[in-house]
Structure 1
Amino acid sequence: MQDAHLSCLSPTKWSSVSSADSTEKSASGAGTRNRPFQFCLRQALRMKAAGILTLIGCLVIGAESKIYTRCKLAKIFSRAGLDNYWGFSLGNWICMAYYESGYNTTAQTVLDDGSIDYGIFQINSFAWCRRGKLKENNHCHVACSALITDDLTDAILCAKKIVKETQGMNYWQGWKKHCEGRDLSDWKKDCEVS
């Protein structure tokens, strides 16, 4: 279960925003581009003690959040050598990223054990990245904060390491549930990648 003050940071919460909310315009004229920010702001105003933390999180999201399109990710992943990496087609990577984060670079999920899944691939802090001074395994030798930026280099390198060290993509539950063993050719359809 996610902490209450981080719940609006999950892209799954954004899909619960009603269609009326998703089309409303702010005073600045920003439309759906700021939908996650607007949703988080409403969440913060509804809360008391955790409201301040939620508001701070919303401000960070509003300033730095990037949600890629499927085809933009296909191009980035292809250039990074993910197509057929360890035998996994580009479709596997695009499908997995969609079901893990909704292509959101700043997605964070707090898990019951206190660890956090970070970024577009939802890479876990307990084993793969470093959060502050906590004694975590950090197999990717990277700060967790580097996994939630628009520059996907560290996230891709870490995801490759996960696939190599765990012998596949079974690490990602979203991939196992929605992508494994399926025809994934449509995930790169019309994306101008080979």
Structure 2
Amino acid sequence: MKAAGILTLIGCLVTGAESKIYTRCKLAKIFSRAGLDNYWGFSLGNWICMAYYESGYNTTAQRVLDDGSIDYGIFQINSFTWCRHGKLQENNHCHVACSALITDDLTDAIICARKIVKETQGMNYWQGWKKHCEGRDLSDWKKGCEVS
């Protein structure tokens, strides 16, 4: 039990960022202002649903994958292809440091997510979206959030 607590503390110190977990409606407003509603044909509900299943709306979420790459932030953007992590030879298609994807300012994460949708096969990049959001009525995701 103590070991798990110590590992959690070390994990928090390593990230160097204070975790912010957005509410659904706050995120809906941010995404709406950022022009994500109907971006490349994907409704606001798709973006909110995807962010929930990828990160639980946690800006500092990180997941190490079997290949050694890391998924970062609210959209779980991968270090191998989309951002720069340390000195590793990633592709960095978003031209951004991975650390910029785990801050409370979602600007870089949104710009990169838009690039992913535009340059890949839409939202199919995200397994959470494919499993939980694709092809479903997602209107409830923005319900009560005072967004159009």
What is the TM-score with the length of structure 1 in the denominator? 0.72
Name the CA distance, whole Å, in 2 between partners of 1:48 and 1:135. 36
Structure 1 residue 179: Cα displacement:
0.2
- Per-residue Cα deviation, 1:138-174 (whole angstroms, up to 9, x for no partner): 0000000000000000000000000000031000000
- Per-residue Cα deviation, 1:15-43 (whole angstroms, up to 9, x for no partner): xxxxxxxxxxxxxxxxxxxxxxxxxxxxx
Structure 1 residue 55: Cα displacement:
2.2
Structure scoring higher RCO (CA < 8 A, sep ≥ 6) equals 2
User: Measured at CA, do residues 114 and 51 of structure 1 come closer, stay the same or move farther in structure 2, by a change above 3 Å?
Assistant: farther
Structure 1 residue 61: Cα displacement:
6.6
User: Measured at CA, do residues 49 and 191 of structure 1 come closer, stay the same or move farther in structure 2, by a change above 3 Å?
Assistant: closer
User: Measured at CA, do residues 114 and 50 of structure 1 come closer, stay the same or move farther in structure 2, by a change above 3 Å?
Assistant: farther
User: Measured at CA, do residues 134 and 51 of structure 1 come closer, stay the same or move farther in structure 2, by a change above 3 Å?
Assistant: farther
User: Measured at CA, do residues 49 and 95 of structure 1 come closer, stay the same or move farther in structure 2, by a change above 3 Å?
Assistant: closer
Aligned residue for 1:117, secondary structure, equals strand
When Rg is computed on C-alpha atoms for both structures, the one with the higher figure is 1
Name the CA distance, whole Å, in 2 between partners of 1:126 and 1:63. 21
Name the CA distance, whole Å, in 2 between partners of 1:114 and 1:61. 17
Structure 1 residue 133: Cα displacement:
1.0
Structure 1 residue 57: Cα displacement:
2.0
Name the CA distance, whole Å, in 2 between partners of 1:136 and 1:65. 25
User: Measured at CA, do residues 67 and 49 of structure 1 come closer, stay the same or move farther in structure 2, by a change above 3 Å?
Assistant: closer
User: Measured at CA, do residues 61 and 71 of structure 1 come closer, stay the same or move farther in structure 2, by a change above 3 Å?
Assistant: farther
Name the CA distance, whole Å, in 1 between partners of 2:59 and 2:125. 19
Verify the 8 A CA contact 2:55 2:74 in the aligned structure 1.
yes
- Per-residue Cα deviation, 1:97-122 (whole angstroms, up to 9, x for no partner): 00000000000000000000000000
Aligned residue for 1:132, secondary structure, equals coil
Structure 1 residue 49: Cα displacement:
8.2
What is the TM-score with the length of structure 2 in the denominator? 0.93
Verify the 8 A CA contact 2:29 2:147 in the aligned structure 1.
yes
User: Measured at CA, do residues 65 and 170 of structure 1 come closer, stay the same or move farther in structure 2, by a change above 3 Å?
Assistant: same
Structure 1 residue 95: Cα displacement:
0.1
Name the CA distance, whole Å, in 2 between partners of 1:104 and 1:169. 19
Structure 1 residue 50: Cα displacement:
8.8
- Residue in 2 aligned with 1:150? 104
Verify the 8 A CA contact 2:17 2:60 in the aligned structure 1.
no
Q: Which moved more, 1:59-68 or 1:123-132?
A: 59-68
Name the CA distance, whole Å, in 2 between partners of 1:135 and 1:90. 34
Name the CA distance, whole Å, in 2 between partners of 1:191 and 1:60. 34
Name the CA distance, whole Å, in 1 between partners of 2:46 and 2:134. 8
Structure 1 residue 70: Cα displacement:
0.1
Verify the 8 A CA contact 2:20 2:58 in the aligned structure 1.
yes
Superposition RMSD in Å: 2.0
Gaps of 5+ in 2: none
Name the CA distance, whole Å, in 1 between partners of 2:91 and 2:64. 17
